[in-house]
Amino acid sequence: MASHEMSLENRYENVYVNDVFKDNILLTLRYLEGSVAEVDKISWEEVNKPFKYEFSLKPGEEFAFHDTTLPEYTKNVVKTTNAHFNYQDGFKSDGYLFGDGVCHLASLIYWVAKDAGLEAVSPTNHNFANVPEVPKEYGVSISFRPNEIYSSARQNLYITNNKEMSVSFVFEYDGENLKVAVKEVKLI
């Protein structure tokens, strides 16, 4: 239905900051797939290995990037990344904030979802900073602050499967590039 990819070697021009972005993106995906659930069991060697992961949404089901959602999305959310992008979850900081880079992942997912014709909503655009390799109109601002529920809910990504068939989100990381695709689930 749709597919896009981006290099995780091109997230930021400073190598140190780029590596923080890359690690945070990959850690988010590991939380999403369930291979990381506890901060004290994070193996960065495992986090950075190439992988393929997918999840499906049935018609009417929703994905939210994190679990603090706007009221209109609380009922049908069946999948989140299971992460809060903070120090307590093992996310890294480039000196500015913890979790830098997760907006790049959300932006790539949003772009693919929109191109697949899914209902996708990003209440807060990431137009304050460039997301390399993603068109500006698909920039998504992600933030999770437990004491700022409304702000966190507005800095989220919501995707609803508005199709009559189930769809799968497929994530493939080859050690350098991250590809995200949305595919129709074929019933056998």
Q: Mind listing the pLDDT tens digit for each residue in 11-36?
A: 898 899 899 999 999 999 999 999 99
Q: Regarding predicted confidence, which is higher, 74 or 120?
A: 120
Residue 80 Cα to chain centre, angstroms: 9
* Residue 143 in this model has a pLDDT that exceeds 60: yes
Q: In degrees, to the nearest 5, what angle opens at C-alpha 116 toward C-alphas 3 and 172? A: 30
Q: Distances in Å between the alpha carbon of 28 and those of 80, 99, 119, 163?
A: 10, 9, 22, 26
- Give the sign of the dihedral formed by CA 125, CA 130, CA 132, CA 133: positive
Which pLDDT value is given to residue 23? 97
Which pLDDT value is given to residue 188? 57
Taking phi over 0 as left and psi of -120 to 50 as alpha, with beta for the rest, 169 belongs to: beta
Which pLDDT value is given to residue 75? 86
pLDDT-derived band at 145, boundaries 50, 70, 90: confident
For the stretch 57-113, pLDDT in tens is 999 999 999 999 999 988 899 999 999 998 999 999 988 888 888 999 999 999 999
Which pLDDT value is given to residue 18? 92
* Residue 187 in this model has a pLDDT that exceeds 80: no
Residue 148 Cα to chain centre, angstroms: 20
* pTM exceeding 0.85: yes
Backbone angles phi, psi at 146, to 5 degrees: -60, -25
pLDDT-derived band at 151, boundaries 50, 70, 90: confident
* Residue 116 in this model has a pLDDT that exceeds 80: yes
For 66-75, the CB contacts below 8 A with 24+ separation are: 66/142, 66/144, 66/152, 66/156, 68/144, 68/146, 68/149, 68/152, 68/153, 68/156, 69/153, 69/156, 69/158, 70/123, 70/153, 70/154, 70/156, 70/158, 73/158
For residue 75, the tally of other CB atoms under 10 A from its CB is: 9
Structure token pair of residue 42: 């994070």
Which pLDDT value is given to residue 76? 92
Mean pLDDT of the residues in the chain: 92
Which pLDDT value is given to residue 148? 82
Which pLDDT value is given to residue 53? 97
Mean pLDDT on 27-53: 93
**Does residue 63 contact residue 159 with C-beta atoms inside 8 Å?**
yes
